[in-house]
Amino acid sequence: MKGFALGQYYPADSVIHRLDPRMKVIAAILYIVASFLCKNFFAFVLLVVSALFLTLVSKIPLKILLRSIRALIFIMIFTAVINIFWFTEPDAEPLLAWKFIKIYRGGLFNALFILVRILAMVIGTSIFLTYTTSPIALTDAIEHLLRPLAKIKVPVHEFAMMMTIALRFIPTIVEETDKIMSAQKARGADFTTGSLMSRAKALIPVIIPLFASAFRRAGELATAMECRCYHGGEGRTKLRILRYHVRDFVALFVIFLFVGGIIAINIFGAKYGWVYTM
Amino acid sequence: MSKKKKLMAETELASAEIIHPAEDPKLRLLNVSYIYSKGTPFEMKALDSVSLDIHRGKLTGIIGHTGSGKSTMVQLFNGLTTPTSGKVLLDGEDIWAKPKEIGKIRFRVGLVMQYPEYQLFEETVSADIAFGPKNMGLSGEEIIERVNEAASFVGLPQNLMDQSPFDLSGGQKRRVAIAGIMAMRPEVLVLDEPAAGLDPQGRRAIFSGIKRYNRETGCTVIIVSHSMEDMAEFCDDVVVMAHSKVLMAGSRDEIFSHAEKLEEVGLDIPQITRLALMLEKEGITFPESLYTVGYATEAFAALFDLGEGGGV
Ligand SMILES: Nc1ncnc2c1ncn2[C@@H]1O[C@H](COP(=O)(O)OP(=O)(O)OP(=O)(O)O)[C@@H](O)[C@H]1O
Ligand SMILES: [Mg+2]
């Protein structure tokens, strides 16, 4: 529980940690786009290399990174397996045929590519966004990037404030859940045995106090904000002002180079008919 | 664990030097350490190989500065948390010997957590107090009897019993929460800061209720508190914690005779003890250490009697 409460943010001193959060959001989006652009074997090699490079540069221990992958392992295997069975090549000899199941060489590659693609996306986004950027910095960045939408009356600031508050209270609420569960365990509540129904019922003594305190906290926070004359985003200045540095532009340049590289490999691949395209 | 390792661990336990040892302790900690978030960058050692005895039937107070590991320690007593290393013995038996039956331990060692008022959830006060006994599988009559007994220990008036616990004042909620544990009649009652944030009168009421529980049922009681004055007044034994370790433990007299040592680690000594220390510096000596106003009155009276040859 506690591990979750602290969020995924992993404090370390790396170039990626120091990048401007806005740049990291853009980088993450470009990285996802790049992984979708990959069309042939060599493009995927470049994608794998880039993921390894990011891991090394970010100084996130492999063990920690694997944890975020483990959460998605089921989806990854599921998609890969589906791809193996779904793939048909009309004029190729299947590698294996048994009743209606036919497995083709292309299907295997396809599954592998999809696996690599999901892996790279998870690694890329978690390195850029979750592990190296604190949630508060991330909301700040999103507010900045969405600011143009305020022109068409989208309440960007309010959304950002809601998100900040929600993020701020996740650890508090998790901690409180822990505490209430401990308190009820001390009174003999049992959350781990019994039928599904009785386990759901066992949660009542946790949920009621949790809601009661969440509402109380919300009320208190609203009062506190009003006492400090909070009146929405208009004319509000920031404590931490985001500024781009040279390193941010260098990083952006590298990312563009990477996307360009993938596009180039795709074009060459198409021209010379490289194998294992998808 | 390999045989050799196990043997080593056992010899280590045998060699543990227990603070404030008892012949037949109710609770014993053997080389207990506890580390929060082990294996992450946020690792935090909250208890550092503590070996301690809690004497049977006594009212033991645990004091220490904030963050010294008091709450961490009391949560080990009833198996809410598992020690990172070391053993917790209840009546000489390892409470984690059968991890599946830890629920039974929790009925034998009742823990009132810090700020327990947020755990109330039932529709009425009496139903909330009955939650623990119900989980023990007791009969209806037995439950009603225990609820009433617990309510009288903490001084909850009968007219509150049918109200919603959410409509009570902070101090009243606190009493309901304490009664909820007392109603389970645990052999060991552990209370983490039962009087934090209450007014002096509320503090006294709660402490004297707890003391009455201790004296009338003969159960072992452990109280965590910041207040030296309360400790001095109500406890038999005192455990002093500092920086994740037990600094000292012993009977109340023993501990308060080291008042200077307590001040060194930043703990408040009772004001009356401070006064006595100041007077001692001036050359006035008392037969024993002073820590409650009651004793002090007697001691001063005796002093004046001697000094002025009879009447004042
Ligand atoms: N859930 C937790 N996760 C990580 N560290 C914790 C956790 N709970 C406590 N700690 C740390 O362990 C140390 C001991 O905490 P503990 O709550 O036992 O102190 P305490 O003596 O009860 O203090 P207080 O008098 O303020 O209640 C503290 O430094 C605290 O920061
Ligand atoms: Mg505490």
Task: Tell me how far CA of residue A121 lies from CA of A36, A60, B286, in angstroms.
Answer: 9, 16, 76
In a domain, B236, yes or no: yes
> What's the ipTM?
0.82
Report yes or no on B297 lying in a domain.
no
**Closest C-alpha residue for ligand 1 atom 31:** B67
- Give the CA count within 13 Å in the CB-facing half-sphere of A37: 20
Query: How confident is the model at residue A19, as a pLDDT?
Result: 93
Same domain, A80 and A34: yes
- State whether A188 and B166 contact (CB < 8 Å): no
Whether B299 is covered by a domain: the verdict is no
Single-letter code of the amino acid located at A130: T
Q: Are residues A221 and A253 in the same domain?
A: no
- Residue A181 distance to chain B (closest CA, Å): 9
Residues A18 and A112 in one domain: yes
Domain for residue A189, yes or no? yes
pLDDT digits (tens, 9 = 90+) for A87-126: 777 777 777 777 777 788 888 888 888 899 999 998 998 8
DSSP string, A44-78: HHHHHHHHHHHHHHHT--HHHHHHHHHTTHHHHHH
Residue A24 has pLDDT above 80, yes or no: yes
- Quick one: which atom of ligand 1 is closest to the CA of B64? 21
The predicted-structure confidence for B185-198, as pLDDT tens digits, reads as follows 999 999 999 988 88
Q: How many structural domains compose chain A?
A: 2
Does A198 share its domain with A214? yes
Q: Give Cα B225 distance to the centre of its chain.
A: 7
| Same domain flag for A7 and A66 | yes
Same domain for A20 and A49, yes or no, is yes
pLDDT, position A243? 87
Quick check: B113 and A183 CB within 8 A?
Answer: yes
Say yes or no: CB of residue B67 within 6 Å of ligand 1: yes
Examine the domain organization and report whether A7 and A100 are in the same domain: yes
Judge whether A230 lies within some domain.
yes
Instruction: Note whether A208 contacts B121, CB cutoff 8 Å.
Output: yes
Same structural domain, A24 and A112:
yes
Give domain status of residue B174, yes or no.
yes
Q: Is residue B148 a part of any domain in this protein?
A: yes
- Residue span of the structural domain in which A182 resides: 169-238
pLDDT at B15 over 70: no
What is the chain B residue with the closest CA to A12? B41
Is A8's Cβ below 8 Å from some Cβ in B? no
* Residues A182, A75 share a domain: no
Please tell me the distance in Å from B181's CA to the nearest CA on chain A: 7
The answer to which of A197-211, B122-136, B298-312 has the lowest mean pLDDT is B298-312
Asked whether residue B14 carries a pLDDT value surpassing 70, the answer given is no
Which residues of A are less than 8 Å from B189 in CB distance? none
Helix (H, G, I), strand (E, B) or coil at B109: strand
Would you say residue A158 lies in a domain?
Answer: no
Indicate yes or no: CB of B136 within 8 angstroms of CB of A3: no
Q: What separation in Å is there between the alpha carbon of B70 and the centre of ligand 2?
A: 6
User: How many pairs of residues across A and B have Cβ atoms under 8 Å apart?
Assistant: 65
Q: Is residue A41 pLDDT above 60, yes or no?
A: yes
The range of the structural domain enclosing residue B110 comes to 3-269
pLDDT tier at A227, thresholds 50, 70, 90? very high
Residue at B308 is within a domain: no
The answer to whether B117 touches B194, Cβ cutoff 8 Å, is: no
B87-99 residue pLDDT tens? 999 999 999 999 9
**pLDDT at A179 exceeding the cut of 80:** yes
CA-angle at B203, arms to B202 and B209, nearest 5°: 90
Chain B nearest-CA residue for A10: B41
Residues A217 and A254 in one domain: no
Mutate to test the interface with B, among A1, A9, A187 (most CBs of B within 10 A): A187
Q: Is B81 in the pocket of ligand 1 (CB under 6 A)?
A: no
Confidence bin at B4 (pLDDT 50/70/90): low
Residue B161 tokens read as 């019993």
Same domain? A191 vs A125: no
**DSSP letter (8 states) at residue B17:** -
Q: Is B225 helix (H, G, I), strand (E, B) or coil?
A: coil
| Domain-embedded: residue B291 | no
A83 and A188 belong to one structural domain: no
User: Which residues, including other chains, have CB under 8 Å from residue B287's CB and lie 6 or more apart?
Assistant: B299, B302
Contact B128, B175 (CB under 8 A): no
Cβ–Cβ under 8 Å, residues A61 and A129? no
How many domains are contained in chain B? 1
Residue B162 CA to chain centroid, in angstroms? Answer: 30
